[in-house]
Structure 1
Amino acid sequence: MKRIVVSGYYGSKNAGDEAMLAAMIEVISDLDPQVNITVISTDPEDTKRRHGVQAVSWLAVGEITSALRSADLLISGGGSLLQNVTSGRSLYYYLGVIWLAERLGVPVMLYAQGIGPVCGGLARSLMRRIAGDVSLITVRDHGSFEEIENLGISRPPVEVTADPVLAIHPVDLGIGRGILKRANADGAKPVIGVSVREWRGWEHYKQVIAEAADRVSKELDARVVFFPMQVPEDVKTAEDIAGRMTANATVLTDEFATSELLSLVGNFDLLLAVRLHALIFAGVMGVPMVGVSYDPKIDRFLGSIGETAAGDLKTVTTDAVMEKICAKWKERSDFRKNNAELMAELRRLAARNAELALDFIEKHKKQ
């Protein structure tokens, strides 16, 4: 039996990260139904219940060490773990877990990581020393590959794959229809989904999104539905933006499972999003999307599917958002066909992460 320990931002009820973990478990288990997975989590009981795997607390060094001692591989990822822009301390924590595994002689794989930005001499030096000693690296985009090169990490060879969520299977739309019906947000009108997040206390982008949502409601005769990727943070931001609108909008306040969110997004006619994995969900479910960037990972993902952001949170304008929305609205039929072809390749690349992990374990066991 292969034994894998997974380190990442899990257990904090961030829908994007939970979707990554769900996708990783789904694909790895499809390839090897007997694999044993233990997740390092901020809420082990929630992770066990949500994903059906073993879990240990992210602060329980003894439990982490015990899990690693019996592991064939530590997977660090997915997500943007190895950066210090959104958090100055988390980089050192995730590098610390990698370092512990290396000291215990456990092979490490950076799994579909979104690397960087990494700022500061100490942080960059530690990245070179610790990440340079791992056994396998895959990154989810070419921007992360360039960051690895800029950090001076020359080994092991790096393979560009795709975000793990892109390998997840599309789901039935009935679940999402039920969510919209319970929120009195169903009916004949087109539905525009909106996913937002708080960022550094900035106000400008909130007003822009409120104005764009008002125009969408009027010009497209559409229903606007805000949905959270992280509860309660996103709900509070959505309510703030909806309160600036003159048109009525629906703000969903519940915490949703990955399958529920995928189905919900699949019911939208178009998505406007700040959150990365809301955009990825749209890709998986074949929904036209417009992104507003707050981090290089947004631009990198959009670039991987031939798209560009409507702007960044600091400088985006209502006209720029509406220009993107109107263009997507006009070409939405063509989008679904082109997206299906593109997503097939991205799904293959996302599944490649799991294939590489299991192949490595198999070869390592034979040595």
Structure 2
Amino acid sequence: MSNIVISGYYGSKNAGDEAMLAAMIEVLSDIDPKIRITVISANPSDTQKRHGVASVSWLNLFDIAKAMMRADLLLSGGGSLLQNVTSGRSLYYYMGILFLAKCLGTPVMLYAQGIGPIYGAFARRMMQFVGNMANLITVRDSGSLGELERLHIHKPPIHVTADPVLAIHPVDKEMGRAVLKSYGASGAKPLVGISVREWRCWTHYKDIIAQAADQIVEEFDARVVFLPMQYPEDVAAAETIALRTKEKSIVLNDEYTTSELLSIVGNLDLLIGIRLHALIFAGVMGVPMIGMSYDPKIDRFLQSIGEDVVGDLENVTVDTLMIRVRKKWNDKAIFRKMNAQLLSGLRDAASKNAELAMELIGNNKAVKRFREMKNE
């Protein structure tokens, strides 16, 4: 029986990270149904309830150490844990967890990480030291591989895979249809979803999105729906943008599960997203997407499916955004087909993360059975 500890940004009501954890648990359990998983979480009771696994507090180093001493492997990830763009302190926390595991003799795998950017000579030296102590590294994109090379991290085996969420299967659209109906967003009108976040108190991108939302309503006779990936922060950001619009828009102001959000996204005709996992949800559900960048991870994901960002939050314009909207709108079927072909390969790559993890702890027979099941 395998025993794994998972470290990541869990228990903080971020839908993308919770979807990552759900996908990791799902694939690992498919390989070894008896696997024991303990998650380091900001809210252990929520994690236990939401995912059905054991959980310890991210602040309780005694419980973390005790869980690691029983573990066959520490998985650090997925997500963008090892960067200091969104937070300087969190980088040192996650590196500290890696260092603690190695001190306790627990093997370490960086699992589908989005590496960097890491600024500052000291932070980069620390990351080089800790990264080279890992037993195995998988990264979710080639940009992260390049960052490892720049950091001179080369001792562990390194594989480019894909974001764990891409291994999730599409869900039925009925659940999302019911949510949208409760907000008055049912009927024949097309739906355009917008996923936003607060970023450095900037206002430029909020004005641009508000103006584009008005044009979308007028030009396509569509409904605009804002959906939250981080609750309640994204609701607040969406409401500030909705107040800037002249046409009516809808802000979904509840907290939703991974399945509910996937189902909501599946009912959209187009998604415009700042949040990475809103874009990934669109890919999983076969919905055309447009991404705006605040972090290289957005650019990297879109590049992996043959697309690019429409601009970053500092320089995006209404004209460039609307040009992209019209192109996607007129060629929806083409983009659905193109994205589906590329995402098929990424789904296999996402499953590869769990396969490599289980091989690292010696569960090779279970991995072989899992691969045979996938190919049937």
Smaller-chain TM-score bracket: over 0.9
1:188 alignment counterpart = 188
- Aligned letter for 1:285? M
AA at the equivalent of 1:188 = A
Shift of 1:227: 0.8
Partner in structure 1 of residue 316 of structure 2: 316
- Match runs of 1:117-128 below 5 Å: 117-128=117-128
Q: Distance in 2 between matches of 1:363 and 1:336?
A: 37
What is the deviation of 1:210?
0.3
1:21-66: CA deviations, max 9, x gaps? 0111111111111110000000000000000000000000010000
Deviations 1:313-347 (A, max 9, x none): 00100011111111111110122222222111000
Residue 300 (structure 1) aligns with: 300
Query: Which residue in 1 is equivalent to 2:264?
Result: 264
**Amino acid across the alignment from 2:142:** H
Residue of structure 2 in register with 1:64 after alignment? 64
CA distance in 2, matches of 1:343, 1:257: 23
User: Structure 2 counterpart of 1:280, which letter?
Assistant: I
Which residues in structure 2 correspond to 1:195-210 (within 5 Å)?
195-210=195-210
1:67 positional shift: 0.2
CA distance in 2, matches of 1:29, 1:280: 22
**What does 1:113-192 correspond to in 2, within 5 Å?**
113-192=113-192
Matched, 1:52 2:42: no
Give the AA of the match of 1:101: A
Equivalent residue letter for 2:152: G
Q: Which residues of structure 2 form unaligned runs of 5+?
A: 366-376
What are the Cα deviations for residues 266-324 of structure 1, in whole angstroms up to 9, with x where unaligned? 00000001000000000000000001100000000011011111100001000111111
Match of 1:212 in 2: 212
Q: Aligned equivalents of 1:190 and 1:358: distance in 2?
A: 44
For 2:70 and 2:233, how far apart are their aligned partners in 1?
37
Aligned amino acid, residue 265 of structure 2: V
- What are the ranges of 5 or more consecutive residues in structure 1 without an aligned counterpart? none
Q: How far did residue 356 of structure 1 move?
A: 0.3
Amino acid at match of 1:102: K
Using the alignment, how far apart are the partners of 1:330 and 1:145 within structure 2?
Answer: 35
Secondary structure, aligned partner of 2:224:
strand
In the alignment, is residue 287 of structure 1 matched against residue 290 of structure 2?
Answer: no
C-alpha separation in 2, matches of 1:229 and 1:69: 34
Corresponding residue of 1:74: 74
Q: Which residue of 2 aligns with 1:335?
A: 335
Match for residue 370 of structure 2? none
2:275 corresponds to 1:275: yes
Q: Which runs of 4+ in 1 moved over 6 A?
A: none
Distance 1:113 1:149 in 2: 14
Over the residues paired in the alignment, what is the CA RMSD in angstroms?
Answer: 1.1
CA positional deviation for 1:122: 1.1
The equivalent of 2:10 in structure 1 is 10
Quote the offset at 1:6 in angstroms. Answer: 0.1
Matched AA of 1:286 = G
Q: Is the 8 A contact 2:8 2:78 kept in 1?
A: yes
Aligned mates of 2:35, 2:78 — CA distance in 1: 18
**Count of aligned positions:** 365
Q: Distance in 2 between matches of 1:89 and 1:194?
A: 30
Partner of 2:362: helix, strand, or coil?
helix
Q: Check conservation: 2:358, 2:364, Cα contact below 8 A.
A: no
- TM-score computed with the length of structure 2 as normaliser: 0.96
State the alpha-carbon separation in 2 of the partners of residues 54 and 353 from structure 1. Answer: 21
Deviations 1:56-111 (A, max 9, x none): 00000010000000000000000000001110100000000000000011000000
Partner-residue secondary structure (3-state), 2:361: helix
Q: Which moved more, 1:331-340 or 1:192-201?
A: 331-340
Q: Secondary structure at the match of 1:75?
A: strand
Q: Percent of pairs identical after alignment?
A: 63
